[in-house]
Structure 1
Amino acid sequence: MTAPLLSLTWTDHVTGRRGFLVVDRLVRGVASGGLRMRPGCTLEEVTGLARGMTVKEALHYDPEARYVPLGGAKGGIDCDPRDPAAYGLLVRYLRAVRPYIEAFWTTGEDLGLTQDLVDRAAAEVGLVSTIQAVYPLLDDEAAARRRLADAFAVEVDGIGMGELVGGCGVAESVLAALDRAGMPYPGTRVAVQGLGTMGGATARFLARAGLTVVAVADVRGTIADPAGLDVDELLAARDAYGTVDRSALRPGLLELPGDAWQATDAEVLVPAAVSYAIGAADQERISARWIVEAANMPVVPEAEALLTARGVTVLPDVVVNSATHAWWWWTLFGDIGPDAQEAFAYTRRSMRALTDLVLARAEADGSTPRAAAHAVAGDRLPLLTERFGSYR
Structure 2
Amino acid sequence: MTAPSLSLTWTDHVTGRQGHLVVDRLVRGVASGGLRMREGCSLAEVAGLARGMTMKEALHYNPDRPAGKYIPLGGAKGGIDCDPRDPDAYGVLVRYLRAMRPYVETVWTTGEDLGLTQDVVDRAAAEAGLVSTVQAVYRLLDDEGAARGRLAAAFAVEVDGIGLDELVGGCGVAESVLVALDRAGVRHEGTRVCVQGFGTMGGATARFLSRAGLLVVAVADVKGTVANPRGLDVEALLAARDAYGTVDRAALRPEDRELPGDAWLSTDAEVLVPAAVSYAIDAANQASISARWVVEAANMPVLPEAEELLARRGVTVLPDVVVNSGTNAWWWWTLFGDVDADAEAAFAHTRRSMRDLVGRMLARAEADGTTPRAAAHAIVDDRLPLITERFGWYG
1:36-61 per-residue CA deviation (whole Å, 9 max, x = no partner) reads 00001000000000000000000001
Q: Partners in 2 of 1:33 and 1:26 — Cα distance?
A: 12
Amino acid at match of 2:119: D
* Structure 2 unmatched runs, 5+: none
Question: Match of 2:58?
Answer: 58
Q: State how far apart, in whole Å, the 2-side matches of 1:248 and 1:345 are.
A: 32
2:387 match = 384
The structural deviation recorded for 1:390 is: 3.4
The residue aligned with 2:178 is 175
Map of 1:234-383 to 2, 5 A cutoff? 234-383=237-386
Matched positions, count: 392
1:222 to 211, 225, 229: 225
The answer to whether the 8 A contact 1:24-1:51 is kept is: yes
**Mapped contact 1:22–1:50 kept (Cα < 8 A):** yes
For the residue of structure 2 that corresponds to 1:269, the secondary structure is strand
Counterpart residue type for residue 52 of structure 1: G
Is 2:106 the counterpart of 1:106? no
Compute the displacement of 1:2 (Å): 2.9
Amino acid in the other structure paired with 2:202: G
Q: Does 1:162 align with 2:165?
A: yes
1:49 is matched with 49
| Contact 1:237–1:249 (Cα < 8 Å) also in 2 | no
Secondary structure of the equivalent of 2:100? Answer: helix
Could you tell me which residue of structure 2 aligns to residue 213 of structure 1?
216
Structure 2 contact 29–393 (Cα < 8 Å) conserved: no
Matched, 1:152 2:155: yes
CA contact (8 A) 1:25 1:391 kept: no
- Say yes or no: does 1:4 pair with 2:10: no
The Cα of 1:391 is off from its aligned counterpart by 4.7
| Partner amino acid, structure 2, of 1:95 | R
TM-score, structure 1 length as denominator? Answer: 0.99
Local SS of the residue matching 1:8: strand
In the aligned structure 1, how far is the partner of 2:77 from the partner of 2:351? 25
* Structure 1 gaps, min length 5: none
Contact 1:191 1:268 in 2 (8 A): yes
RMSD: 1.0
Distance 2:27 2:306 in 1: 33
Letter in 2 for 1:100: Y
Shift, 1:252, TM fit? 2.9
Distance 1:120 1:186 in 2: 42
Contact 2:30 2:394 in 1 (8 A): no
Quote the sequence identity (%). Answer: 80
The amino acid across from 1:309 in the alignment is: R
Distance 2:258 2:221 in 1: 11
